Chain A
């Protein structure tokens, strides 16, 4: 079993839809959870960063972490064509190198006008 599982998609939705992106993980030592957005041929851009369990909201984006289920989600409300990108979840343990992230494979999202 891989440490982090993420459905690669592709996921296609109409403009204005609510998008739900998810990752599951197996290592209960993970404490920090991140979502990155990566446009084609660009570097990843940090979208959301959460510690331990709970919700975090930033504009149209909401990140949820459920450590009991080892499940994290990113919700995008009122999706826009500019949200079309690959979304990578990433996580790491407390005390480990901050660069030693375990990434999911990424979900490719397409928002159609």
Chain B
């Protein structure tokens, strides 16, 4: 079983809706990530949080707003999305963020459909 838990597993929303994706890990990891994965494509990094601070934003549109309330939780707030934002959104965590060894553990993902 994955130790990174994401909710909801599936989400359908309209372009005017506001929704949030949630991610939780209890491995004591201090780095958490959001990735976006389109069908038949590899995951693409969106955001990196290190010790609860945003350290990397890969030029993601402002309609995606990340939040890290504490070291175990990561949210992704969604507002005014476009149909092309439909994808599998993956949360991941690792012990640290930089330097040497550090395995990345993914959650099962939240499948988002924007109508």
Contact = CB atoms under 8 A, between A and B. Distances in A.
Interface of chain A: mostly helix, strand, loop or mixed: loop
Interface residues of A, number: 26
A98 interface: yes
Contact of A42 (B31, B99, B100, B108): B108
A45 B1 CA distance: 10
A41 B106 contact: no
Interface string A85-113: 00010100011111111011110000000
B106 A45 contact: yes
Interface stretch (B14-22, B42-50, B78-86): B42-50
Contacts of A45: 2, 106
B112 to A, nearest CB: 13
B45 A100 contact: yes
Interface residues of B, number: 33
Contacts of B115: none
Contacts of B88: 41, 43
A99 B103 contact: no
B36 interface: no
A86 B42 CA distance: 10
Contacts of B102: 98
Interface of B: 2, 4, 6, 31, 33, 40-43, 45, 48, 55-56, 88, 90, 92, 94-109, 111
Given A43-B109, A98-B98, 9 more contacts: A34-B103, A41-B88, A41-B109, A49-B103, A95-B99, A97-B56, A99-B56, A100-B45, A105-B41
The 6 closest A-B pairs by CB, nearest first: A103-B42, A98-B102, A43-B106, A99-B33, A98-B94, A43-B109
